[in-house]
Structure 1
Amino acid sequence: MIDLYFSPTPNGLKLKLFFEETGLPHRIVPIALSKGEQFTPEFLAISPNNKIPALVDHSPVDGGAPVAMFESGAMLVYLADKAGALMPRSPRGRNTVLQWLFWQAGGLGPMAGQIGHFNVHAPEKVPYAIDRYTRETARLYGVLDRRLADHEFIADDYSVADIACYPWIVPHEAFGQDLGRFPNLARWFATIAARPAAVRTYDGIIDVYSARRRPLTKAEREVLFGQKRPGIRV
């Protein structure tokens, strides 16, 4: 059994989508980020960066002690290898998937996360930041759009590269992006959205960037963005 420490952020939803696609046995362990549960000693022992998702594999393939992991990209590679799915077997195919997986982790996620913060969660509007990150997210959407012009999926076959990127396209409106400007990306997005695993993944989920989500309180904002443990002054 695998324990998945989860909250419905785009990075958390990557792992939920992977498990829905593969059916790999797992158990969801909810982490309430706004309550500071990511700062508990028990969670930090698994995820020293105090971020979700994280996992503990109690039945690793080598039969040894449980494997604890943080960083969603590394977790997707580990799980793909364990499941024997969503990762090409050929070295060239694997290399392509890893490039796009790292591209998402190093570019698409961080930049889209910044515009999501300044558009949705920031207590005041910062025009320079909004313009900067809207433009950079659009540039990255354009990179993906060009890749998908002659590829059905990011790395030819559906893979963890697609799973990593998709949750960062779901909140495109909150990121100030119009998918009409990116027809190849829009086609890919619609294809994945229609997959049964994606439908199950997002059933009942209110994404952290959704306009339907209630506004954060001052205390919640301090925990989430000030990285303050509840009750501790820094």
Structure 2
Amino acid sequence: MANIQILLEELKDIYGLRWTTSLIDLDTDEQKQPWFLAFNPNGKIPLLIDNNSSSNSDPIPVMESAAELLYLVETYDPDHHFHFSSAIHRSQLLQWLIFWSASGQPQQAGLNHFARFAAVEVPC
């Protein structure tokens, strides 16, 4: 989630992009409430909701970090400061983004779970 926040800050510095952040109370399963599930049926965070897209008057929900990053650069980075316009460079970017989403992130999530929430202490 920090990667999305960092990109938003960079887009703000270059283009003046403005946004608001809403905190979701995971302890009370706020992400499982009907209002949240209407935007993200998976009931997971992070969730990006674009209320300002000029192409649509309805809010545009985008879920999953990789998809959110791609959406932000494709929508709000017309000068390609954070993504590529050539097919080969875009392909390389997608390869690493998909690799991290499919391989690295699940490993990190498992490690975080056992390091923080497991009932039995796991030696590191």
Normalised-by-shorter TM-score class: 0.7 to 0.9
Q: Cα RMSD between the aligned structures?
A: 1.6
Displacement of 1:47 in angstroms is 1.3
Q: Which runs of 5+ in 2 are unaligned?
A: none
Residue 105 of structure 2 corresponds to residue 109 of structure 1: yes
Equivalent positions of 1:166-205 (< 5 A) are none
Take 1:77 and 1:48, find their aligned partners in 2: how far apart are those partners?
A: 20
Match of 1:99 in 2: 95
Which of 69, 72, 75 does residue 65 from structure 2 map onto?
72
Take 1:121 and 1:63, find their aligned partners in 2: how far apart are those partners?
A: 41
Match of 2:117 in 1: 121
By relative contact order (CA 8 Å, sep 6+), the higher-ranking structure is 1
Take 2:2 and 2:19, find their aligned partners in 1: how far apart are those partners?
A: 14
Match of 1:46 in 2: 39
Take 1:48 and 1:112, find their aligned partners in 2: how far apart are those partners?
A: 23
Residue 55 of structure 2 corresponds to residue 62 of structure 1: yes
Equivalent positions of 1:15-26 (< 5 A) are 15-23=4-12, 24-26=17-19
Match of 2:84 in 1: 88
Match of 1:13 in 2: 2
Displacement of 1:63 in angstroms is 3.8
SS of equivalent to 2:22? strand
TM-score w.r.t. length of structure 1:
0.47
Displacement of 1:125 in angstroms is 3.6
Identity percentage over the alignment?
31
Take 2:66 and 2:43, find their aligned partners in 1: how far apart are those partners?
A: 16
Displacement of 1:44 in angstroms is 0.8
Contact 1:61 1:82 in 2 (8 A): no
Contact 1:53 1:71 in 2 (8 A): yes
Q: Which runs of 5+ in 1 are unaligned?
A: 1-11, 131-175, 177-234
Q: Deviations over 1:122-148 (max 9, x none)?
A: 11146xxx7xxxxxxxxxxxxxxxxxx
Take 1:17 and 1:105, find their aligned partners in 2: how far apart are those partners?
A: 18
**Count of aligned residue pairs for this structure pair:** 117
SS of equivalent to 2:21? strand
Take 2:51 and 2:111, find their aligned partners in 1: how far apart are those partners?
A: 37
Q: What one-letter code is carried by the residue in structure 1 that aligns with 2:6?
A: L
TM-score w.r.t. length of structure 2:
0.85
